[in-house]
Structure 1
Amino acid sequence: MGAKEYILYHNIYSICSMMVRYTLALRGPPKDDHSAMDVTEVAVDLFKGENLTEEFLCDINKYAQVPVLDDRKGNPVPDSLEITHYIANVYPNVIPKSHRDEITALLKELHGLNFFSLSFTGRTGVAAGLAATVEKLLEDPTISGRYRKALEFKREVVQSSKIGGLKPETVTEVEHRTKGVLDRLAKTLPENPQGSDSGPWLFGLQEPSALDAHSIMFVERMRDVGRLALVPDRLNAYSQEAADQAEFKHVLNGRRTMAPLPKA
């Protein structure tokens, strides 16, 4: 039996999509051959509203967000952290047993941050544009009942996590929590990986875990949005070194982690 086939819906500038794609690039060998994942990537253009179609909202992800991992059997996994744990069940290096509890806890902390707050600070027009797009779709009297219900739910999501996420007091709170999470990540770096038994990755592992993939992509996003003041020096240097390697370059393909934005 060959590898199991999956579809990964993603966007090239979605930070959570990039985290999952980088995790896949670093995943290492599967626990057994018949469990291996053959993942086909399908890009979703968020700027054109491909995530707001009835099919996507009602059948793929009610949050209208990417990434989504689909097993081609109608069982989509619509959350980047859940996808990561799904991958880890097949690829042991993704969350190794030796540091399972610590990695799981830090991944949860990292994903507890509002990435939108940190990435689009001051760009209230971006959030307002998302809200306006949803409202325009809701104005169509011919849409189905299930589609209308899905759009109404999406409107609530935009209001709470996007518009609400850019309030100054929210941004300040997220910045504070981000500093704490990144400080804790920096403390897991090996003191002197050269000339020791420690590897170069978080917790001194010889092979990268999902925590490396997600943390590096997050640090590089902070670099691209001018927030390196939140990043400890050692974590910054570690991330820069990883970003020079082939796996990271394959995921980014010459791009930055942020889509080019018009001036605010």
Structure 2
Amino acid sequence: MAKSQPCTLYYDPRSICSSMVRYTLLYTGSPSQGSLPLDVEPHRIDIFNGEQLTEFYLCEVNPKGQVPVLFSKGFLDAPIRDSLDITLWLCDRFPSLKAAEHADDIVRLLRELHAINYFTLSMRNTPHVAGGLEGAIREKVKTPNLSEKHKEALQYKLKVTRTEKVNGLKPEVITAEVERARVLLQEIDEIRKQSNGQNLEGGWIFGTSAPTALDTTLVCFVARLMDRKLEEIIPVSLLQLARKARATQQFKDIWATL
């Protein structure tokens, strides 16, 4: 009988969604009854040098050509191709990530956090990046002897890039996403105050002894905002929480500044 569940995690350390999943994996705790501990093998995909555009990755791993992706041969019928879906899957198997008394709020706020366009916030001052990504796909399509299957996959990836990245850097979209992030962070800070009081040195969002999946996801989100000069929209207590987490070796091991 297996003592652990083998998994492969496709990731890039510069991907905020990859970091969210990797940081959450550090705090899974004990599995629920009937679930096994995970034995995760990391598989790095260099998204800035086109490794996500290979036929294998687009056709076998993720048609969107994005990271992270979690696959567990023999346990999962198909890869989990979305960071929110991976996080919720982990929450279902590791109770401490979704503390029962706060489960509804944790899931709701995770969904709202992941609804934000992270690319918009990360690249709002470097719009040429989206054009570069689009250009790389167009050049890849010109590669001699590509299979029809690979060409079709690249055309789909091109549509995804236009929708989520090129369009995500329109000025009106940037303004809207920054405001959405500001409002959501204020809401989370109010919840933190209800659990921890006005003490800026308070612990995790719900006052739990270990971080929930909301905490691990939020810390990575705030860290990216800090790196991209958006500290002004972050409540002070959430800045303190992120700074404390960023000082740990666990966080440094999974984080790469763009």
Q: TM-score, normalised by structure 2?
A: 0.92
Aligned mate of 1:150, from 136, 148, 153: 153
Asked if the contact 1:127–1:162 (Cα under 8 Å) also holds between the matched residues in 2, the reply is yes
Q: Residues 29 and 250 from structure 1, CA distance in 2 versus in 1: closer, same or farther, beyond 3 angstroms?
A: farther
In structure 1, the gaps of 5 or more residues are: 260-264
How far residue 33 of structure 1 moved from its aligned partner, in angstroms, is 7.8
1:189–1:204 Cα contact (<8 Å) kept: yes
Equivalent residue for 2:69? 68
Q: Distance in 2 between matches of 1:10 and 1:98?
A: 32
Q: 1:24 corresponds to which residue? A: 25
Judged with a 3 Å threshold, the aligned counterparts in structure 2 of structure 1 residues 179 and 147 are, in CA distance, closer, same or farther, namely: same
The answer for the alignment partner of 2:48 in structure 1 is: 47
Residues in 1 aligned to 2:34 and 2:25: alpha-carbon distance in whole angstroms: 16
Query: In the alignment, what sits opposite 1:107?
Result: 110
**2:137 paired with 1:117:** no
Q: Distance in 2 between matches of 1:103 and 1:5?
A: 27
Match of 1:262 in 2: none
Specify the alignment match of 2:257 in structure 1: 258
For structure 2, which runs of at least 5 residues remain unmatched after alignment? none
SS class of match (1:6): strand
Q: What is the rounded CA distance, in whole Å, between the counterparts of 1:101 and 1:24 in structure 2?
A: 21
Matched, 1:159 2:159: no
1:245, distance to aligned residue in structure 2 (A) = 2.9
User: Deviation at 1:64?
Assistant: 0.3
Aligned partner (choices 221, 224, 240) of residue 221 of structure 1: 224
Match of 2:95 among 92, 97, 100: 92
Paired position in structure 1 for 2:192: 189
Aligned residues: 252
Deviation (angstroms), 1:244: 2.1
- Distance of 1:176 and 1:34 partners within structure 2: 40
| Distance across 2 between alignment mates of 1:181 and 1:60 | 32
After the TM superposition, which residues 116-135 of structure 1 pair with which residues of structure 2 at under 5 Å, given as runs? 116-135=119-138
Q: Deviations over 1:85-134 (max 9, x none)?
A: 11112211111211111000000000100001100113122111111111
CA shift, 1:32, in A, is 4.3
Structure 2 SS opposite 1:206: coil
CA distance in 2, matches of 1:160, 1:192: 39
| Secondary structure of residue in 2 paired with 1:8 | strand
Q: Is the 8 A contact 1:190 1:204 kept in 2?
A: no
Deviation at 1:193, TM superposition (A): 4.4
- The share of aligned pairs that are identical, in percent, is 34
3-state DSSP of counterpart to 1:236:
helix
Q: Structure 1 residues 190 and 205 mapped into 2: Cα distance closer, same or farther (>3 Å)?
A: farther
> What TM-score do the two structures reach when normalised by structure 1?
0.90
2:135 matched to 1:136?
no
1:179 aligns with 2:182: yes
Q: CA deviation at 1:31?
A: 1.8
Distance 1:168 1:247, change over 3 A: same
The whole-number CA distance in structure 1 between the counterparts of 2:5 and 2:113 is 29
> After the TM superposition, which of the residue ranges 108-117 and 134-143 deviates more from structure 2?
134-143
8 Å CA contact retained: 1:9, 1:68: yes
8 Å contact kept, 2:10–2:67: yes
